[in-house]
Structure 1
Amino acid sequence: MSTRTLPAPVVARAGHRRLTLGLGVAAVILLLLMAASLSLGAENVPFADVWQSLTAGGTDADVIVRGVRLPRTILAVLVGAALATAGALMQALSRNPLAEPGLLGVNAGAALGVVIAMAHLGVASLTGYVWFALIGAGIATVAVYTLGSAGTAGASPARLALAGAAITAALTGVISAIVLLSSTVFNGFRAWSVGTLSGRTAPVVIQVAPFIVVGIVLTLFLVSSLNALALGEDAAKGLGANVGRTRLLGVVATTLLCGAATAAAGPISFVGLVVPHMVRTFTGPDHRWLLPYCLLAGPILMVAADLAGRLIARPGELPTALVTAIVGAPVFVYLIRRRRMAGL
């Protein structure tokens, strides 16, 4: 019997079971990748030693597992969740399927905040970058939405994309001017801007985790409003959604997620763009399922990319941003050519 001949409630329950099962499978995949991330690298550590180090300590592997790989793996999970969630949120708010932190100027704003902190305030540590990256990301986000919403026509996907491109170009020019005036700032910015999780320790994780957690909670709070907004502003208002509050809280959540993730790992491309589209091919546009899946799919991609970068070039490693770009670009092209972009 085809699904067309089944009663709607039966079809709905089957779909609910499928999506719930998918979340469980994704969670298992993420846990396996995290275990592999703790075990594999320039020097492989047996899983038994990893478990012993995590549960009891006192092993020769403590320095590698607890000191280096555990913070790095946790940060990969946080950054992946933050970027994927921010991408889905920005696509919903702007109703633009190409919206992501890099396109709408958020990464450039965060980068400018970091550069100013390096050049004029003497900040030289990753933990010191966070506040400046958040401020820069917030200013850029507000500027893009203000510029894209100016005039009687209001905001539209095309206007927001153009505003994001203009703000990104302007901020990139300012960043280039600053870093070229100082070799010290240039070297520091170059090391940060490659987009990597290498060298990130527990203090960095502790610094950015609260911002990312608050941003995720804010986004999940907006689930119903985002579903209503997908129907258009007039329909959303008719359904009782507070469009102004939704956009304001969405901007705050985007700033927290992108600013913290970019401050910790540098600019990471394609995660915020590709992951929501990949998830939509399975869940559809319903944010009640889309966002939880993004919270798992984003970390899966980040942990896998970080692990691949360590294994491909060991004993050295490839920057995580390079791996996500190599993987993300062809996947995105495939989604466009074969499946078309899933509706928002």
Structure 2
Amino acid sequence: MVRDGLLTMELGIVHRLFGQAVSAADVPLYEVLTCTPEPGDVRTDADVTVRVTHGTDILAEADTVIVPASDEDYTPRTAPHLPPALAKALAGIRPDARIASICTGSFVLAAAGLLDGKRATTHWRSAADLQRLHPEVRVDPDVLYTDEDGVLTAAGVASGIDLCLHMIRSDHGSRVANEVARGTVVPPHRDGGQAQYIPRPVTAPRQSSTEPARTWALEHLDRPISLREFAGRAAMSTRTFSRRFCEEAGQTPVQWLTRQRVDRARQLLEETDLPVDRVAAAAGFGTAVSLRQHLHAALGVSPSAYRSTFRGAAAPGEPGAAGRVAREATATDADGRRPA
């Protein structure tokens, strides 16, 4: 279901991926139809228009409804609302249908109440707005997609690929999804979530009572830093320092140090060819094992996968990210045809 301001890439993702899904007998597994509240020319974010002939009455027959983003989703918002035509279209969806959004299409689902009490995501730049406008939604800005009780959301534009492959895998198993991924020249699974795409440069904090200690710590991340030494740099007891630090930084000194070490490791993985053990040492993790554990906890990826994403090559001493075994999903009837 598309709207004015449609992001053309997202429309292409849905048609391309579901359109390539075929059974072992080469039978198409989905019928993909595009609709809009007012059939006709639909404005896009590019210099083309898309002519859509179907109205939203066809949603009553759909097993899956996908709502791509619109450039109008990025306009400043003061209150969640749905235009009457859009609200009517969503009301016509079968109760047992699967419904998904891509990127800021999640604002539509949230405004319709479809995400209430559910975990959902959207583009990381819009996550704070989604949470502010819809506090009843459990917004997770770090993941590529979510799937709860037949309601799915994808993060940024390209995360729509991950979401569609997930749905295909859930419907027809890994074999079909892997073939679609291979035909689209994309990985069947991307490691981690969108947290790894959010820029968080290592910078000095704003002036505060603990600022001198934090500035000093940023200059000495390659060495162990005890809480007593950290507090001593601010001329405070550990108890007072920890309390002030939480008030000013919103996290404990240990949590802050770990975050800064992760950010330093990210910077080194992106900008240098240092082996993983030397990156670990420079970031203050000590060992490559410790770095892998902390990077995976923060971003959901290994150092090699992170470097592969941003540098196009595996880290020295680490296995390449390619060739990982895809997680298996329960296959349904391979000859079943499911409209989307």
Per the normalisation by structure 2, the TM-score is 0.24
Question: What's the TM-score once normalised by structure 1's chain length?
Answer: 0.23
Higher relative contact order, chain-length normalized (CA < 8 Å, sep 6+): 1
In terms of fraction of residues, the more helix-rich structure is 1
